[in-house]
Structure 1
């Protein structure tokens, strides 16, 4: 009797798309088992295309986290975020449209109009189902959405938990092309530690500062040196006005110290070594509405 052959290995790129604040980055982190993509309760936390790699026995998935596609916002930064969000599906073998139950907004419709132009499998993920008091409301809600929009599968998830993820992954993997892995089994991302360090610092700014101020900040790594098990990092936090600089620094420097301490601990956990971190706050007026500044700070594409 012939032994059953092993299933063919599959590899593909999977774009996680959706409007801001539906949980795409949290979903990515759960799927790859690491806090790679920064997360905060504020919309538009993700500003870049983030690739996270999940390696399984017979498949490897390169997930692409994207900025939330959004309406409004007329600054150069908003245009850049939407450019990245629109470009990423072009790379994908499968598109995962993430929405937050139980709402379908004009921005969700904008995402659908974008991905409906791509002739690849599309899965709908209804996220944050824990926030829906009566789960019986979910089925008619999704039935209305999918009546005139063609998805190859629909999944109900809570991105912060593993429940439902196994079935979602099984469904996702079957749509991937048969192909060998393109990354090593221990690789997590194609981004450098330098990039990740800047994102971790920015995450602390998003978490600690008031509603509007985080959007006027960005982080530039000025020096990154690995010496044995120690990473020496110097970074500039850029703001748009002198008054914002004072807020970030805080009374007697307490704000900047807390941001640095929390960021350092996050880096040490992710990098697996000691980190010496120095932070400065600098001012460049209206950097987020200046194309040259955006390019300097790594916002391109």
Structure 2
């Protein structure tokens, strides 16, 4: 008998939710970066475990919003607590129970579906005996149905987590073909690939003032695709950083993203990146537009 359901990954920023999503899927889908607040909207992947199939929703991490664009990201995270079968609260075990984690606990108190506490990055915790007291601190504020200790980076504990999720899913026919990785549009995945390489290359110089979106996605007769990406920054100095001397930086970013997309999709990709300056783009932009919503 087939089982199907939806689960949501929520928690503070930089807890490793996107890394956990990628590990659960067995393939890279969500952008991961040394920067916090990397995920800007809900990302859905499709995972399999035995006779169970489940859609996994990765969300923007909770943080203190300072601008309208941030408010939109928080709204996306809050919406992810609705219409799912299981909620996974993912926490950085090294950081512990921070103020933002405490705020997430309050938000989860009203939900009725099963709630798992996932303490991530346990491989980085020097004192492993601190894990049980940490779990008890969270449980004192909210009754979790299950608690899991994982390291998404190395995969420790992820298989047990998948098995626990599969056991709780209702009997229902699968919603996707077994080889489906995501239901996200390819234009969104393309923009995410460019954004990841942009941040990886300029993680110290470029703050979260860059918007990356796909302007056009053109299917060509030879089976290749031409993707036109628009990068919007706030200041002329940031534009100069993204372009690099003689355009070398943006060219390297484009090459890395193009290779990644070509390998993932098994087709030739033509990638074109344009950079513009809009000082107030984040005051008016709705993150859902990145998904065409």
Does the 8 Å contact 1:28/1:37 carry over to 2? yes
Does the 8 Å contact 2:49/2:166 carry over to 1? no
Q: Which runs of no fewer than 5 residues in structure 1 stay unpaired?
A: 1-7
**SS of match in other structure, 1:19:** coil
**SS of match in other structure, 2:81:** helix
Distance, in Å, in 2 between the alignment partners of 1:51 and 1:296 is: 14
| Shift in CA distance, 226/208, structure 1 to aligned 2, threshold 3 Å | same
Alignment of 1:15 onto 2:14 = no
Which residue does 1:298 correspond to in 2? Answer: 290
Alignment equivalent of 2:252, drawn from 251, 258, 270: 258
Deviations 1:143-189 (A, max 9, x none): 22213320011110000223222211111112212211111111111
Which residue does 2:274 correspond to in 1? Answer: 280
TM normalised by structure 2 equals: 0.94
Which residue does 1:5 correspond to in 2? Answer: none
Tell me by how many angstroms 1:11 deviates.
Answer: 0.7
Distance, in Å, in 2 between the alignment partners of 1:75 and 1:30 is: 32
Distance, in Å, in 1 between the alignment partners of 2:11 and 2:59 is: 8
| Shift in CA distance, 296/287, structure 1 to aligned 2, threshold 3 Å | farther
Tell me by how many angstroms 1:273 deviates.
Answer: 1.4
Tell me by how many angstroms 1:137 deviates.
Answer: 1.5
Alignment equivalent of 2:176, drawn from 180, 183, 187: 183
Alignment of 1:195 onto 2:188 = yes
Correspondence list, 1:8-47, <5 A: 8-47=1-40
Tell me by how many angstroms 1:296 deviates.
Answer: 8.7
Tell me by how many angstroms 1:278 deviates.
Answer: 1.1
Deviations 1:176-232 (A, max 9, x none): 122111111111111111110011111112212244724111112122122233121
| Shift in CA distance, 296/133, structure 1 to aligned 2, threshold 3 Å | closer
Which residue does 2:82 correspond to in 1? Answer: 90
Which residue does 2:145 correspond to in 1? Answer: 152
Distance, in Å, in 1 between the alignment partners of 2:43 and 2:283 is: 23
Alignment of 1:167 onto 2:189 = no
| Shift in CA distance, 238/144, structure 1 to aligned 2, threshold 3 Å | same
Distance, in Å, in 2 between the alignment partners of 1:21 and 1:185 is: 30
Does the 8 Å contact 2:87/2:114 carry over to 1? yes
**Which consecutive segments of 4 or more residues in structure 1 shift more than 4 A?**
none
How many residue pairs match? The answer is 291
Which residue does 1:3 correspond to in 2? Answer: none
In angstroms, what is the RMSD of aligned CA positions? 1.7
Deviations 1:217-259 (A, max 9, x none): 1112122122233121111111112221111111111111111
Which residue does 2:241 correspond to in 1? Answer: 247
Alignment equivalent of 1:221, drawn from 214, 217, 240: 214
Which residue does 1:54 correspond to in 2? Answer: 47
Tell me by how many angstroms 1:111 deviates.
Answer: 1.1
Distance, in Å, in 2 between the alignment partners of 1:111 and 1:176 is: 24
Tell me by how many angstroms 1:294 deviates.
Answer: 3.2
Distance, in Å, in 2 between the alignment partners of 1:254 and 1:162 is: 36
Deviations 1:103-154 (A, max 9, x none): 1111111111112211000001000001111211211221222133200111
Distance, in Å, in 2 between the alignment partners of 1:186 and 1:212 is: 39
Distance, in Å, in 2 between the alignment partners of 1:145 and 1:234 is: 45
